[in-house]
Amino acid sequence: MSEQAPWVPPLKPPRILIVDDQPMNVLLAQRVLVPAGFEVRVARSGGEALAVAQESQPDLILLDMHLPDMHGLEVLRRMLESPWGGHLLVVAMSAHATAEDEALWRQAGCAGAIEKPIDVTTFVRDVARWLAGDGREAVQPPTGAPEKKADKFWEVLVANRLATPEQLARAMTTQAATGMRIGQILVEQEHISEDDVAWAFGHQLGYPYIYPTPDTIDPGVARLLPEAFLREHRVLPILKSGREMTLAMADPTDQRAVDEVFLRTGLQVKRALALGSHIQQVLDGLFAQEVAVRERSAGPEVQYLQFHLAQALQQGATEIHFDPTVDARARVRYRLHGVPVDRTGHPIEMHMAILHLLRELTGLEYARIGTAVATFPLDGMEMRMVVTFVPTVSGPAASLRFYLPRTDVPTLAPLGLSSELVHPISEALQAARGIILVGCADPVLRSTILHALIPTVYRGKIWTLETMPAYRRATLNQTALDSAQEVQVYL
């Protein structure tokens, strides 16, 4: 067998667009391709990929299928359906792709797939093959994989035997006369169910279809977002894994909702499709207890909790601790400037009523140990609380971290910090890259210092990692951490 001729770059460098949110993957590909004579462009999200592809018209796009803002298949679909992108050559990249995944990507329009991390000894040759049109056979479809892409909704129904061609033909006739949607017609004619329609749409778009129930969701994760937002956008957080949230969506192409979820939680969104009616049912059950809490606002435990939250805020506290004691009473402590300070205690019956109320708010009714987020009404505002339950030798205890997120930009003058100290730090934040660490035992004070230092310009170019983001600013990429130990995951 003769050796394959080495890659010889043409006079005009081929333009490669690498779409990947992992800097090390991008850097490795650049270090291999640029010396070989390729022009490399980079995009780190689906939205950025669409903009760069339209502007630069690359000869080849290497598309990571798991991006922070949208699935790679959604990026591919938008490209190929656009007036400017129908001719683009796209190769999928993924670290853990199965044969079925690769078959699905080819059906969607990818020329093939490349495994990550790339093999630097063959990467240039592989890219050259794709550019020459010889790479489309590099990854063979698995046995039995469909040869033709079922790119129409009704083709998915027929291909998966959810509807017959005869039923589809009658539905199309009805559609021509009434203007109704094919799926709606088939459901009304009782040929398929709403679940079948949702599954087919999910299959067509490349998103998994799920049936959410109270038993399949994490109530603490669902409460990371306000009830009004969830109902307005018809979305439901299912679970959280690391810094990623699985989000059930009635419309998984709603990019504005995904962007808002990221802004509010700091979590990357993994989309899934669910029926809007199913999402509504779970939300009704999830927030029914909180509605009951609001309706019984005259209850002594509700008034007691509101009193302590208002007092703690007024005194500048950042935490409240409810602890049982051995004498059938319980004590209350505020954390002021990092030091627990005792406040007036209460009978153990009130203590247990408060913990029961907090468990209802967080959805941790049956967990002896756990942490969850909840909101609580206070003087017409929604107080955000991080509640932790722990057992003690005297009985169950709970601690609350709380804050009212602010949108203004704080100043350092009231803290007594000199301009000689602040100026070099502010200059450092205007550099092209770098890391600033703010150390302070008080999380609210730490957040105040951090946001006072961050310039109000450079929209989207600064990323903050905060255990308690007391300030919310639309110009920043903010990530809320469960603990300081999580910082090492990002750094």
What are 328's two structure tokens?
A: 């059938």
Count of H-run helices and E-run strands, the chain: 18, 16
User: Does the pLDDT value for residue 16 go beyond 60?
Assistant: yes
pLDDT value of position 144: 36
Q: In this structure, how many other beta carbons lie within 10 angstroms of the beta carbon of residue 37? A: 15
Read off the pLDDT of residues 336-390 as tens digits, 9 standing for 90 and up.
887 889 998 889 999 999 998 888 887 777 777 887 777 777 776 667 788 889 9
User: Does the pLDDT value for residue 81 go beyond 90?
Assistant: no
Eight-class DSSP state of 296: T
CATH of 300-403, one of 1.10.1060.10, 3.30.450.90, 3.20.20.140, 3.40.47.10: 3.30.450.90
In whole angstroms, what is the distance from residue 344 CA to residue 353 CA? 17
In whole angstroms, what is the distance from residue 443 CA to residue 454 CA? 17
Read off the pLDDT of residues 313-346 as tens digits, 9 standing for 90 and up.
888 888 999 999 888 889 999 988 878 899 988 8
Read off the pLDDT of residues 265-311 as tens digits, 9 standing for 90 and up.
888 888 888 888 889 888 888 777 555 555 555 578 888 888 998 89
For residue 17, name the pLDDT band (cuts at 50, 70, 90): very high
Does residue 223 sit in helix, strand or coil?
A: coil
The residue ranking higher by pLDDT, 402 or 461, is 402
Task: Name the CA dihedral angle for 251, 254, 260, 265, rounded to a multiple of 10 degrees.
Answer: 50
What are 449's two structure tokens?
A: 């210092």
In whole angstroms, what is the distance from residue 46 CA to residue 14 CA? 22
CATH of domain 15-137: 3.40.50.2300
- The architecture that CATH gives domain 219-293 is 2-Layer Sandwich (3.30)
> Residue 63's beta-bridge partner residues?
19, 92
pLDDT value of position 331: 92
The residue count of the chain comes to 491
What are 114's two structure tokens?
A: 């490349």
For residue 2, name the pLDDT band (cuts at 50, 70, 90): very low
Read off the pLDDT of residues 106-134 as tens digits, 9 standing for 90 and up.
888 898 888 888 888 888 888 988 888 75
Residue with tokens 């810094």: 243
* Cis peptide bond upstream of 117, omega within 30: yes
Read off the pLDDT of residues 429-474 as tens digits, 9 standing for 90 and up.
666 566 777 777 666 677 788 877 776 555 446 777 776 677 766 5
pLDDT value of position 69: 76
Eight-class DSSP state of 3: P
Task: Name the CA dihedral angle for 416, 334, 354, 331, rounded to a multiple of 10 degrees.
Answer: 180
Q: Does this model's pTM top 0.85?
A: no
What are 398's two structure tokens?
A: 């709970």
User: Does the pLDDT value for residue 491 go beyond 70?
Assistant: no
Q: What is the mean pLDDT of residues 225-250?
A: 86
By C-alpha distance, which of 105, 88, 114, 99 is closest to 20? Answer: 114
pLDDT value of position 102: 83
Decide: 194 and 273 in contact? Cβ < 8 Å. Answer: no
For residue 60, name the pLDDT band (cuts at 50, 70, 90): very high
In whole angstroms, what is the distance from residue 12 CA to residue 81 CA? 28
